[in-house]
Structure formats: structure tokens, C-alpha cells
Amino acid sequence: MVEEVNNPSSGRSRRKDKHQSKTLRVTNSLGLHARAAAKIVDLVKRHNSRLYLRKDDQEVDGSSILSILTLACPKGTELEARAVGEDSDRLLEALELLFAEKFGEGQ
């Protein structure tokens, strides 16, 4: 969803970023640890959107390994992933695949 928003002060319209969200489950046996968090951060860097991860009432910036680790996500944890930006849909698709592939750990 992309919306055009009028800017009354300039008389011009500006583009509003797309917002997408998806619920993901941590399925790898080691949970969301440092290597997995680093893969998420690398994925975010390859897109033109911001990523936020939420567990319960805590939301963190998906471009920070340390922030992701503060969520303390063992196997079975559900997270809400929210992407904001021009390619938010592609970012969430790639993130969903990364989770489905258990961060390349195969367990």
C-alpha cells in the first residue's frame, strides 16, 4: 500500500512509505541467537526498508543485532515483523524464507 499525502506547507505531495507486517515463528533449535540475528541484520541492509520486530510488548529495531537479542527468543517464539519502506513486501518475503530455512542451520 502506497499513499500520496499532500504537504500543505509546500503545496506538493510526498510519498508515504508502505507498511507490511507478518507473524513469524522461531523454529530452529537454538532460537534467535547471535548468528541468526546477524543474518536478519544483513537482510535488512540489502533492502530499502526498515524492520521492526515485536515480541509481546517489546519492539526493537531489526537492523541491530543487540536489539534483536534483547527479545530473548527460544524455539517456538512468535514474533511480529513489521517492515516500513519502498520494498517492505520483498523484505518480509525474504525474512519469512530465512525463518523457514531455520537461518541455514538445518535443525
Which residues have a catalytic role annotated? 33
Q: Please name the amino acid found at residue 38.
A: A
Report the C-alpha gap between 55 and 76 in whole angstroms: 12
Buried b (16+ CB within 10 A) or exposed e, 54-63: bbeeeebebb
Q: What ranges make up the beta strands (E) of 1-107? A: 3-7, 12-16, 19-25, 49-55, 58-61, 78-85
Which residue, 35, 34, 39, 32, is CA-closest to 58? Answer: 32
